[in-house]
Amino acid sequence: MAAPFDKYKKDINRSTFVRYNENYLVGTFGSADVTPFWVADSDFIVMPELVKALKKTAKRGLYPYELKTPEIKQPLIDWFKKRHKININLDGLLFTTSVNSGLAATIDELTAKGDGIIIQPPVFQGFKGIIKGVGRKVVNNKLTLKDGKYEINFSDLEKKAADKKNTAMVLCSPHNPVGRVWTQQELEKIAEICIANNVLMLSDEIHADIIYSKATFIGMTEVYKGKSDNIIMLGSAGKSFGIPGLVDSFMYTPNPVLKKKIQERIMRFHLGKSNAFGNAALKTVYTHGNKWLDKKLNYLEKTVSAIEAYLAKNIPEITLTIPEGTYQVWLDFNKVTKNDEELKELLYKKAKLGITLGTEYGIGGKGYARMNIASPRPMILKALAKLKKALNNFVII
């Protein structure tokens, strides 16, 4: 019998799914005739308890305005305590529509127009869009690649943090797309620099649950404990449980002044509306999701190994940065293509794969592409076979 994560649900209409929508595919890849592995969501069927809880909610037949009561919040708090040793105080917890909306509202509320916001490219492309969208300046602290592993350039970070114009940093922890799970030592160093320079820490921990066996996730709020409370953590159950279209997101800060300001902003702009299905989902996944998530992580880690083995055997000129977390793999095409045009030709036209070009993630992304692997493994291996075939016929000039 196929493993539950090996199943791809056929016969469902995916036209409203961002990942599969034809217009989106044409707009992004020039054609709808690509197998999509781009948007960071998942093809896996969700945990059975969740479907049951949603059916129960549907059967109510009543969908009035909803609240996030302690009954919804407590399982989230317990989850972070048990799974990650992160202590979230009920008083500092806030909810917004999405991590992106929370980030945009927070940057707009807590920094001034024209301020520099530090990010670490190659990094989730949403950061750049949000920072520019609210009239702030992107300040790059580029990651460096050393012996196949991405590292932080701390002397550059120190320089950028010391510049008074740069008032906040958006940390991607774990890091999308390079898959780093930052160590205690690395986080402490970042914290030390930001605290010394009064740079507000915005720690995007949306991928906190997607951690593989060799790494341990450490919450930045725990690192800050006893040192400073100039920090906001952002998170969501969306990636962990394959439900970004179902749940809203949350923020946590131990700082009552920051909390009050963000809460007022959320209220002024009406960014905090709950819905019955999202609430039921949050309560269910954080109460019953432990074992299911462990199985999913085990499946994903085996997929990473399968990709590594396939590439080494069949296309050794393409290498991957082994992820410590997240379900993204960062593939290096520098040996097979010279520029974005060639990479697009290879991926979109020849292999017909909807994989995101590395340059989308800012500087440091040239010659790379990010593949979302939260799909049944046979689909991933089929995609790699298409890539191999395309490369066999691809003339490198």
Ligand X SMILES: Cc1ncc(COP(=O)(O)O)c(C=O)c1O
Interacting residues with ligand X (CB under 6 A): 40, 98-100, 124, 126, 172, 176, 204, 206, 236, 238, 244, 249
Residue 40 or residue 351: which is nearer to ligand X going by CB? 40
CB atoms inside a 10 Å sphere around CB 281: 24
Residue 124 or residue 217: which is nearer to ligand X going by CB? 124
Rounded (5°) CA angle 287-288-290: 105
Least separation in angstroms between residue 113's CB and ligand X is 23
Q: Is 370 left (phi over 0), alpha (psi -120 to 50) or beta?
A: beta
Residue 106 or residue 249: which is nearer to ligand X going by CB? 249
Joined together, the tokens standing for residue 62 give 């009543």
Integer Cα distance of 209 and 83 in angstroms: 8
Pairing between strand 149-151 and 200-204? unpaired
By C-alpha distance, which of 296, 292, 303 is closest to 328?
Answer: 303
Torsion angle (degrees, nearest 10) of CA 338, 344, 347, 352: -150
* Terminal-residue alpha carbon distance, the chain: 46
Integer Cα distance of 161 and 116 in angstroms: 10
Least separation in angstroms between residue 358's CB and ligand X is 15
Integer Cα distance of 286 and 188 in angstroms: 28
Residue 96 or residue 337: which is nearer to ligand X going by CB? 96
Least separation in angstroms between residue 302's CB and ligand X is 22
Residue 98 or residue 321: which is nearer to ligand X going by CB? 98
Least separation in angstroms between residue 345's CB and ligand X is 26
Least separation in angstroms between residue 208's CB and ligand X is 10
Least separation in angstroms between residue 395's CB and ligand X is 35
Sorted by sequence, the CB contacts under 8 Å of residue 63 that are 6+ apart come out as 275, 276
Residue 148 or residue 245: which is nearer to ligand X going by CB? 245
Residue 228 or residue 240: which is nearer to ligand X going by CB? 240
Least separation in angstroms between residue 238's CB and ligand X is 5
Residue 93 or residue 336: which is nearer to ligand X going by CB? 93
Pairing between strand 368-372 and 328-332? antiparallel
Task: List phi, psi (to 5°) of 316.
Answer: -65, -15
Least separation in angstroms between residue 174's CB and ligand X is 8
Q: Is-contact 157 119, C-beta < 8 A?
A: no
